[in-house]
Structure 1
Amino acid sequence: MSTMFGWLKRRTMSEQRKVAVPPPIMPSPSPAYTQPPVEWNAKYSPGMIARECRRIDDFVALTSPSAWRAVGGLLEHAPKAHQFVTSQEYAYNVALLERLPRAKFVLGIGGGMALDAAKIVAAAQGATLIMIPTVVSTGSVFNAGFPQRHDGVLRIIHKVASPKILLFDTDVIRAAPTHLNAAGMAECVCWVSVVAAWQWWCHNRRGGVEWDQSVADELIVAVRECVSCWVNDVDADGRPGIDAIRACAEWNRKRYGLHAWDLGLYYAIDHAFDVAFYFVHRRSLLHSEAVALGSLLSCVLYDGGFEETIHLLRSCGTRYLPAQIGCTWPEVRETLDHLHEHGTHYGHTNTRLADGPVSDELFNQMVTRVEGG
């Protein structure tokens, strides 16, 4: 293993391709940001799309092929245009804004990439935004930001747009492949790795946010309650009921009310693994599945929380093995080797990887524990 996965002696990715990050594609906050996510109007019901959208006839749709197949036939009117979104890169989205016709409404239909694109189109056009997630595996719901990328480097544009309504049509969501919905629970479970990283950071006197057991307890209880809601409302085929769908989606709003959210606990590498993977390999994994794997890697890195994290992910049916989610262990290793470097581009530098790359011994532990469970 140590020979196969020895640290790659190479120039940094930034040295190989000089990264000059352009300015944000739009100001923050934009005029389209009218309400914080905690106040957004979300509805959960079967048949919701046909009922709520029947009078909308002047719109463009940002979507994906599978989401459009699921939803397009439920709309009473055809859009002025619909675009299958394939990238979050700066140049792609500049071109997207230029070629779409203006409309009164912008519908974001699908997963995170489509929902995020709809935010910037609605903001640029001054249109009314309606978000229609077709799965619950995205943190883009109850999130007003847009993850702009340029040559793989991430820049978050905050407060882009607020939707008039968020429509969770439970018939459509239940019909999606089960692993796409189960992935969404990683957005909740990853907080166990956040607590573990924070505890390690404080125990090793690295500075930063002072340890607070009551904050940690509040967070872990909230995670377990959300997982319980999911597990108790998933059928034998893994399809979530309306209570499970609501619990998974609403976690993305509930987190804002937890004390941990305001503390800025950015020591774990759960989400950082996903954005660094794109930076290194220039392709995307399903975001929440990458977060699931990143959470487990973070637990090994910080020597805490692994058993609970993997138990909760398994209970939810969330995939995390590289072979399941579309990557390889050599790709994981290369991502970890460049994770700190990418973090320097957007301010995520207070991780243990700032001390140096993962050793062969530690990486082998990661492989063994994740694969062995």
Structure 2
Amino acid sequence: MLKVMQSPGKYIQGPDALQHLAEHVKPLAHHAFVIADHFVFGLVEETITKSFQTGDIKFNEAIFQGECSQKEIDRLGDLFKESGAKIVVGIGGGKTLDAAKAVAFYAHVPIVIVPTIASTDAPTSALSVIYTDNGEFESYLFYPKNPDVVVMDTTIIANAPARLLVAGMGDALATYFEARACAEANKTTMAGGFSTLAAKSLATLCYETLLSEGYKAKLAAEGKVSTKALENIIEANTLLSGLGFESAGLAAAHAIHNGFTAIEECHDMYHGEKVAFGTLVQLVLENAPLDEIDEVLDFCTQVGLPITIAQLGFEDTSPNYHEKLKAAAELSCAEGETIHNMPFAVTAQDVYAAIITADKMGRDWLNV
């Protein structure tokens, strides 16, 4: 099997980067179809309108309705066909961007991704996570190439709720540990081959950056200001984690996240918040050294990521508590799930035991 690494055509990051959007769209097409939700359009419409007018680019707008489901992708795809546009521009959070990627893929046109938050590592990747209309994980949709351009406006991202940046750190937290597991198991990555030294190095750098810059970046985000630490964490959450997970591999942490999407009580939690707890569960599955687990517990506590099931919104007094956790464990071990990239066989019972143990570790850490 060959080694494979893939990445977006161009990655741009910096203050007020959105003002230059037309410069990155124009080499690809002169008629854009812009997808965003109502809130994001209120935030960026004036900026993108001015940029497109200056660049002499025609554009149509479409409102994303909140869930990256096949039904929503089909609806947006129909609007794209009616518009006559030649390129898709997705602006917003992870689900908006995933839907925009799918629309561009089915229409066979270029895609420009403009995250307004740094809450996941999805923007740079050649895949979308597809959910049911009710928000439960359904499948991954893989693409033959990564986005043509990714534009990160750090002025906008710095003004987003700090919890979103922290959630991005939770998503990025899994990158190194999942990459390590895939390499040890000699499993293929999301890119369709074995990991390169470059991808593994990016995954390691991602983790190191989180530990050194995460807390400082959180404080900057709470103050709605951009600092060097915040810039570094935006890059870690998006570029380092994005390239790291895709070209170095996913394993248990994301599969456990997918399992938890079946627990209704956790639906208000962000993707990265559930992935952070999934990372702790993966470390228990691996029987990782206690000092490594303590390092993860300390980081999560410092920046505000969940380390207990209760912090995910699911109390042990809830009806059918253990049955729902067992169901989540079963879902995380479904055929084709990334948990099977671990360097040992994993059963639903193993995952359930690790979930319970990880929760007890978190409770002990917090003295609750």
TM-score over 0.5 (shorter chain):
yes
* Residues 203-228 of structure 1 deviation map (CA, whole Å, 9 limit, x = unaligned): xxxxx449xxx999996565123431
Match of 2:299 in 1: 312
Alpha-carbon distance change, 276 to 166 in structure 1, aligned in 2, over 3 angstroms: same
Q: Give 1:371's match in structure 2, choosing from 347, 353, 363.
A: 363
Alpha-carbon distance in structure 2 between the residues aligned to 1:126 and 1:263: 27
Query: 1:178 and 2:162 equivalent?
Result: yes
Alpha-carbon distance change, 107 to 221 in structure 1, aligned in 2, over 3 angstroms: closer
The offset of 1:288, in angstroms, is 0.8
SS of the residue corresponding to residue 155 of structure 1 reads: strand
Match of 1:72 in 2: 45
Query: 1:159 and 2:143 equivalent?
Result: yes
Alpha-carbon distance change, 61 to 328 in structure 1, aligned in 2, over 3 angstroms: farther
RMSD: 4.0
Query: 1:46 and 2:15 equivalent?
Result: yes
Match of 1:356 in 2: 349
The offset of 1:313, in angstroms, is 2.2
Match of 1:248 in 2: 233
Asked if 2 retains the 8 angstrom alpha-carbon contact of 1:64 and 1:110, the reply is: yes
Q: Give 1:273's match in structure 2, choosing from 210, 234, 256.
A: 256
Counterpart amino acid of residue 46 in structure 1: P
Please, what TM-score do these two structures have when normalized by structure 1?
Answer: 0.70
Counterpart amino acid of residue 172 in structure 1: I
Counterpart amino acid of residue 71 in structure 2: A
Counterpart amino acid of residue 299 in structure 2: L
Q: Give 1:103's match in structure 2, choosing from 85, 93, 96.
A: 85
Alpha-carbon distance in structure 2 between the residues aligned to 1:93 and 1:165: 20
Alpha-carbon distance in structure 2 between the residues aligned to 1:368 and 1:184: 24
Query: 1:81 and 2:61 equivalent?
Result: yes
Counterpart amino acid of residue 371 in structure 1: R
Q: Give 1:117's match in structure 2, choosing from 69, 77, 99.
A: 99
Matches within 5 A, 1:145-294: 145-149=127-131, 152=136, 154-159=138-143, 161-191=145-175, 193-194=177-178, 208-209=185-186, 223-233=207-217, 235=219, 237=222, 239=224, 241=226, 243-251=228-236, 252-254=238-240, 264=249, 266=251, 268=252, 270-279=253-262, 281=264, 283=267, 285-294=269-278
Counterpart amino acid of residue 169 in structure 2: M
SS of the residue corresponding to residue 123 of structure 2 reads: coil
Counterpart amino acid of residue 258 in structure 2: V
What percent of counterpart residues are identical?
19
Alpha-carbon distance change, 46 to 291 in structure 1, aligned in 2, over 3 angstroms: same
SS of the residue corresponding to residue 347 of structure 2 reads: helix
Asked if 1 retains the 8 angstrom alpha-carbon contact of 2:213 and 2:230, the reply is: no
* Residues 105-160 of structure 1 deviation map (CA, whole Å, 9 limit, x = unaligned): 32211111011111111222333322110111111121011223458453222225
Alpha-carbon distance change, 142 to 307 in structure 1, aligned in 2, over 3 angstroms: same
Which structure has the highest helix share of the two? 2
Q: Which moved more, 1:51-60 or 1:107-116?
A: 51-60
Q: Give 2:125's match in structure 1, choosing from 136, 143, 147.
A: 143
Asked if 2 retains the 8 angstrom alpha-carbon contact of 1:276 and 1:342, the reply is: yes
Alpha-carbon distance change, 370 to 66 in structure 1, aligned in 2, over 3 angstroms: farther
Asked if 2 retains the 8 angstrom alpha-carbon contact of 1:42 and 1:167, the reply is: yes
Asked if 1 retains the 8 angstrom alpha-carbon contact of 2:16 and 2:154, the reply is: yes
Match of 2:336 in 1: 346
Matches within 5 A, 1:28-47: 37-47=6-16
- Where structure 2 has 5 or more consecutive residues not aligned to the other structure, the ranges are 53-57, 188-196
* Residues 71-94 of structure 1 deviation map (CA, whole Å, 9 limit, x = unaligned): 223222695232224222223322
- Where structure 1 has 5 or more consecutive residues not aligned to the other structure, the ranges are 1-35, 203-207
Counterpart amino acid of residue 119 in structure 2: S
Aligned residues: 325
Counterpart amino acid of residue 143 in structure 2: K
* Residues 35-54 of structure 1 deviation map (CA, whole Å, 9 limit, x = unaligned): x7535312122222123338
Asked if 2 retains the 8 angstrom alpha-carbon contact of 1:274 and 1:294, the reply is: yes
Alpha-carbon distance in structure 2 between the residues aligned to 1:60 and 1:105: 6
Alpha-carbon distance in structure 1 between the residues aligned to 2:117 and 2:76: 24
Q: Which moved more, 1:98-107 or 1:147-156?
A: 147-156
Query: 1:303 and 2:287 equivalent?
Result: yes
Asked if 2 retains the 8 angstrom alpha-carbon contact of 1:340 and 1:349, the reply is: no
Alpha-carbon distance in structure 2 between the residues aligned to 1:288 and 1:359: 20
SS of the residue corresponding to residue 75 of structure 1 reads: helix
Q: Which moved more, 1:329-338 or 1:159-168?
A: 329-338
Match of 2:194 in 1: none
Alpha-carbon distance in structure 2 between the residues aligned to 1:303 and 1:315: 23
Alpha-carbon distance in structure 1 between the residues aligned to 2:116 and 2:242: 23
* Residues 157-182 of structure 1 deviation map (CA, whole Å, 9 limit, x = unaligned): 22255433211111100000011012
Asked if 2 retains the 8 angstrom alpha-carbon contact of 1:40 and 1:164, the reply is: yes
